[in-house]
Amino acid sequence: MVELQTNLAVRIIGDVSPSPCPIELESPFTRVDPQQQVWPATLANCYLTSSDSPDIRMWYMPKRHLWAIDDDWSEVIEFSGCEFSGTVLNVGRFYYRSDMLVNMSIWPKRPEFVSWAEKVFKTTKKILNYSPSLLAYIGEHAAKWKREGGVFGSI
C-alpha cells in the first residue's frame, strides 16, 4: 500500500463516517467507529482515491447514524474483505466502477479517474503475485504465511 500511496498519490478513506465528510485512514486495516475512535481490525473495508480532487459522494444510513460512500457515483476503488479469523485469511475484493447510472442511462466517470484507477490496478498487479489456485493476487507476507501453514478461504 505504501508504494501506491507514494507513487500514485493514493489516499485511503474509511467506508463509513459520522459526518458527510470521508475520513482518511493511515492503513486499510484501521476501523473507525461513530465516536471517532480508531482501532486495528481483522477486516479491511476501505476505499482508495486519488489526492487530485476526487468526486466522493456520501449517503446517510439513519438506523446506524452513519454516512457511507456511494461507490456508484464516487471516484473510488473499493478494497474490501481480507477478513482474518486468526487461522483463515479470506480473499478480498479490489474493484471500481468506470460508469454510473444517471436517469436510466449509463454515463462514464471522468477519464482522469478511470486512467488513475487503471494505473493503480497495473501497479498492484506488479507488486503482488497471482495465485491460480485462489484466482487472486497475494502479497509476499500472505504467501509466506501460507507456506508456513496458513489457510486461505473465500467469502
Full-model pTM: 0.82
Domain boundaries along the sequence of the chain: 2-149
Per-residue pLDDT at 112: 92
Q: What is the pLDDT of residues 13-63, one digit of tens each?
A: 988 888 898 888 887 766 655 554 554 556 778 899 988 777 899 999 998
Alpha helices in the chain (DSSP H): 2-8, 111-127, 140-147
One-character DSSP codes across 121-153: HHHHHHHSEEETTTTEEE-HHHHHHHHTT-EEE
- The terminus-to-terminus CA distance of the chain in angstroms comes to 22
Task: Please give the single-letter amino acid code of residue 23.
Answer: I
CA dihedral (113, 21, 101, 97) in degrees, to 10, reads 40
Mean of the pLDDT values across residues 135-145? 87
Phi, psi of 4 (to 5 degrees): -65, -45
Which of 139, 131, 39 is closest to 79 using CA atoms? 139
Give the model confidence (pLDDT) of 29-43 as tens digits.
666 555 545 545 567
